[in-house]
Structure 1
Amino acid sequence: MIRSNKMAGMIMFFMMLGSTAVFAQTPQMPQQEQQQTEVTDAELTKFVEALKGVQMVTQQAQQKMMQMVQEEGMEIPRFNEIHQASVDPEVGVEATSEEKAAHKKIIGELETMQAGIQEQLENLIKDQGLSLERYEQIAMRLQSDTQLQQRIQQMIQG
């Protein structure tokens, strides 16, 4: 069951371009602690560079995943529908045995691909001089800190 939930998270991860939260399994900091963590300009520069790489890798992974689904003769919305039903017992969907077999094969390929992608993302972040934990802290804070969002916007545009 944990594996299925992790896979659902990974698929959603691929389907959302531009996501900054890379490591969903990392425990989240309490809101108060996030707000108290100051982000220096140097850290923010490293974060922006890592984020650019993360976005590129996730975009490539998304394209590869979509290609794998299509090579199995499925449409993306249909795959997502079948997958959602496979991880959520409250979602019912009628699927042919061929669709179920294609879904199972795609999930197997995605699981194989996941470890490599995860390692690639971790290396991108570390190569910028950030720890995975610090990257996640900044990403989490970015979701609610408009000042931090503006600082990043200025760095990207400047």
Structure 2
Amino acid sequence: MFKSSKIKSLFLAVFVCGSMSLMAQEQDISDKELGQFADAYTEVQVQNQKSQEKMIAIIKDEGLEVERFNEIQQAEMDPNQESDATEAEKEKHENVIVKFEELQPEIEKKAIASIESAGITLQDYEKIGAKIQADQSLQQRLQAIIVKRQSDKS
């Protein structure tokens, strides 16, 4: 009997401590911080969409279709895959890659500006993002904030 109640107490203590640490972890990010993250995340998504449109335009301006560019890129990245690209396609692909690399600093600068305009640093954005990725309740809180803000705009 003594052993049983000791085990029950231990189990209860572990359960309570575990619950408290989960609650503390979730509360580690305030609603204000999560709201700032939501604003930054939404703006970064808009910037990503614009960047993708620019990248698609670059691919097409070089005379490649996006699907074909992706096929060539995949073959380039996989040493076990042989590319069936013609020399002309390889040259176009290389031109696209060079233009992407030239575009990269502008994309990064705009993303950082979007994050900072929401009142959060890049480091805090990354930390909060990592916590959100690991915590489903934070994901739900973030989703609720984003949905609410989108419905407020409508």
Number of paired residues?
124
What RMSD in Å do the two structures reach over aligned CA positions?
Answer: 1.6
Pair 1:138 & 2:128 matched: yes
The structural deviation recorded for 1:116 is 0.5
Instruction: Provide the residue aligned with 2:53 in structure 1.
Output: 63
Instruction: Provide the residue aligned with 1:45 in structure 2.
Output: 35
Q: Map 1:1-158 onto structure 2 (within 5 A).
A: 36=25, 38-158=28-148
Q: Quick check: 116-125 or 77-86, which moved more?
A: 77-86
The structural deviation recorded for 1:146 is 1.3
Instruction: Provide the residue aligned with 2:7 in structure 1.
Output: none
CA distance in 2, matches of 1:118, 1:91: 31
The structural deviation recorded for 1:80 is 1.0
**Highest Rg: 1 or 2?**
2
Alignment gaps of 5+ in structure 1: 1-34
Partner secondary structure for residue 48 of structure 1? helix
The amino acid of 1:104's aligned partner reads: E
CA distance in 2, matches of 1:67, 1:41: 39
**Structure with more helix by fraction:** 2
The structural deviation recorded for 1:97 is 0.8
Q: Deviations over 1:6-46 (max 9, x none)?
A: xxxxxxxxxxxxxxxxxxxxxxxxxxxxx947111111111
Alignment gaps of 5+ in structure 2: 1-23, 149-154
CA distance in 2, matches of 1:88, 1:59: 27
The structural deviation recorded for 1:157 is 2.2
CA distance in 2, matches of 1:144, 1:90: 34
The structural deviation recorded for 1:144 is 2.9
| TM-score between the two structures when normalised by the length of structure 1 | 0.73
CA distance in 2, matches of 1:146, 1:101: 45
